[in-house]
Amino acid sequence: MLDGTAGLLTYLLLKLTGYTLWSYVGLRWFDPKHSSIGAAAFARGVGRLVIGWVTGIFFAPFTLMAVGTNHIPLFYFTALAIVRWFEWGVIHISIPTPESPVAVFVQGGSQRGRVWRFIGILVSYLADAPFLIASGGFPRGRLFC
């Protein structure tokens, strides 16, 4: 069920749903007076999905090295966590906050910003979980974003 085209569509829908819902929370936390918050959250969810795929392509050589050296879990839980921190950072700086955009991007700005980003990373990992469970481990063909 999680293979082929149906699997890819399920994967994309799960990621998009998680990213959109977490972007909605971010907008509520950081910009509660934003008009049309649902559309803004969806746009950020799509943006986060695209950012993940683009960075996945750029990090493909590192993924291949992790596969070749049988260090996929190490790569997945360390390097990918850092990458996801900055992917969520791009979404975070798209939400107006009084902090400096550089501080927000690099360190998450406020304590609330860091918590939001950390949970965003968890959302990304949770969206991967059904595929990790269904494949019995780390699949070698799908780049997680």
How big is the chain by its Cα radius of gyration, in Å?
Answer: 16
Q: Which residues contact 23 (CB under 8 A, 6 or more apart)?
A: 40, 41, 42, 44, 45, 48, 91
Per-residue pLDDT at 55 exceeds 70: yes
> pTM for the whole thing?
0.85
Query: When comparing pLDDT for 131 and 44, which is higher?
Result: 44
Q: What is the mean pLDDT of residues 45-67?
A: 86
Single out the residue of 50, 72, 52 nearest to residue 62, CA to CA.
72
